Amino acid sequence: MEGFQKDYLRKAINSNASSSICGFLYQFQRALFHIFSSVNQNSIVGVETLDDVSTLSFDENQEVTITIEQNKYTRRENFNPIGDGSHNLWHTLNIWLSNLREYRSSYDEINFYLTTNISLPEDSLAKMISSATSNKDISSILSKIYSLAKNTKNVDIKSVSEYNPEDLMFVIKRVKVFDASFLHEKSIDIRNQTIQYFQLHSSAVEYAEEIYEQLLGTLINKSFTKWKNKEQAWHKVQFFRDQLHESQKKVPLVRYIDRDIFSDDFQNNIMENRDFDFIRQLVNLELPESYIDDQLKTYFGFYAERVRLQNEGYVLPTDWDNRERKLNTRWKGISQQIEIEEIDNPTPKEKIKFRKILNRTLTPEFKENLGNYETNNTYFTHGHYHDLVNNTANRNNIHWYKKIK
């Protein structure tokens, strides 16, 4: 570690490169924000398409609204990346104005967003443009533009001042500047505000950061894949909403199976298949790992014994059906009994109710017969219950937690 304190090693670090990477990642964070703040499931969000981030929204009349966004990230203190005389501000306005004719001919509504990760001075020109609504406000900004253009050699400022006044007014009226002051009070950055739009289930709240990282990684990977294939990186909002729902179900499960006792093949089997829904539900009930491990063993024991009995042919299919019907009836009776108890003495958390049902169903003394045969091992009943959770197509299907449609 001492080597990193040597001057010749420290000089090798390119701080400009790290700033560029931060700015590039900021674009993806902004894109993810647009994906989950969108109220239109038919929207698509692009990264480095028409601008840093672009959003196309389609209404019921197939009218298209485009939002074109420039992102200006900075790590420098006391620095305004879109100051009154900055290249970033004027070059962005110049680009938007130069493409305005094409925008207006292609889209029904147009929004121009300029964003940064810091708070801007309230008296800055960017803020004034953003808050301009009346013709009087816009005329005042035009006067300032013309005044600046007379006393500068900045090519972009001069170019902006030379556009048709009508085009200038059109763009200024539609520019919105979003800085750190637009984040919710309890948020410290765009990540946290995006997470608020996830509206996570209470069982997944503690995994919010992990879920965010998964979605951000998916967005980056999908964009890189499209660019590699020489395609534009447009992404459907609904795809990422679906990914979010999958992540909410998977993350608690990953925490459970991410241990040395499980092989990679077994972990993949649980994650990719629906054969272990009972494990997902037990994990979501926040049960101890040791308890879930024991239930997994009962399931494997039951599964192996059932295969043996079916191969030997001693047990009729109707015997299995009757047993499953009896197990289902017993589970329903216990569930209804607890529901009635909850009327007068409701538990503060819904998971507590489901844990009660599970606990009363999987009692060590209860062992359901199979046809005319008595069963002597608890695992053969408990494992069969777990099998009924997995088998959603079975008319006797049950659930330990909320039934997932």
DSSP string, 229-258: TT--EEEEHHHHHHHHHHHHHHHHHHHHH-
Q: Where are the alpha helices (DSSP H) in 258-316?
A: 264-272, 277-284, 289-312
Q: How many whole angstroms separate alpha carbon 95 and alpha carbon 155?
A: 12
Q: What pLDDT score does 269 carry?
A: 67
**3-state SS class at 4:** helix
Q: How many whole angstroms separate alpha carbon 143 and alpha carbon 372?
A: 95
Does an H or E element contain 144, and which?
helix 135-150
Q: How many whole angstroms separate alpha carbon 117 and alpha carbon 119?
A: 7
Distances (CA, A) of 399 to 89, 176, 187, 278, 404: 57, 49, 37, 8, 9
Closest CA relative to residue 399, chosen from 227, 266, 282, 243? 282
Q: At which residue do the structure tokens 């708070």 appear?
A: 119
Q: What is the pTM of this model?
A: 0.67
Q: How many residues does the chain have?
A: 405
For residue 335, what are its two tokens?
């569930």
Task: List CB contacts of 350: < 8 A, sequence separation 6 or more.
Answer: none
Query: Can you give the C-alpha Rg of the chain in angstroms?
Result: 30
Q: At which residue do the structure tokens 């994906």 appear?
A: 35
For residue 182, what are its two tokens?
């637009």
Residue 262 DSSP symbol = S
Q: How many whole angstroms separate alpha carbon 324 and alpha carbon 275?
A: 17
Q: What pLDDT score does 261 carry?
A: 62
Backbone angles phi, psi at 340, to 5 degrees: -65, -40
- Tell me, what amino acid is at 202? S
216 near 28, Cβ under 8 Å?
yes
Distances (CA, A) of 54 to 87, 97, 130, 137, 271: 21, 16, 18, 27, 34
CA torsion through residues 260, 264, 266, 267, sign:
positive
Distances (CA, A) of 253 to 20, 162, 257, 270, 322: 36, 60, 6, 9, 32
Q: How many whole angstroms separate alpha carbon 8 and alpha carbon 201?
A: 51
Q: At which residue do the structure tokens 């009349």 appear?
A: 61
Encode 7-72 in three state secondary structure: HHHHCCCCHHHHHHHHHHHHHHHHHHHHHHHCCCCCCEEEECCCCCEEEEEECCCCCEEEEEEEEE
Q: What pLDDT score does 404 carry?
A: 52
Q: How many whole angstroms separate alpha carbon 164 and alpha carbon 161?
A: 8
Angle between helices 208-228 and 190-198 (to 10 degrees): 100
Q: What pLDDT score does 8 carry?
A: 47
Residue 116 DSSP symbol = E
CA angle centred on 340, ends 336 and 343, rounded to 5° = 140
Cβ neighbour number for residue 73 with a 10 Å cutoff: 20
For residue 197, what are its two tokens?
């739009």
Q: Per-residue confidence of the chain (405 residues) as pLDDT tens digits?
A: 444 444 544 444 445 556 678 888 999 999 999 999 988 888 999 999 999 999 999 888 888 999 999 999 988 878 889 999 899 999 999 999 999 999 999 999 999 999 998 889 889 999 999 998 888 999 999 999 999 999 888 899 999 999 999 999 999 999 999 988 876 554 468 898 899 899 888 778 888 898 999 899 999 999 999 999 999 999 999 999 999 988 887 777 766 766 666 677 766 766 666 668 898 899 889 899 899 989 999 998 898 888 888 887 778 889 999 999 999 999 999 999 999 998 888 877 888 999 999 999 999 999 999 988 889 899 999 999 999 999 988 999 999 997 654
Distances (CA, A) of 209 to 117, 238, 297, 402: 19, 21, 32, 24
Cβ neighbour number for residue 43 with a 10 Å cutoff: 19
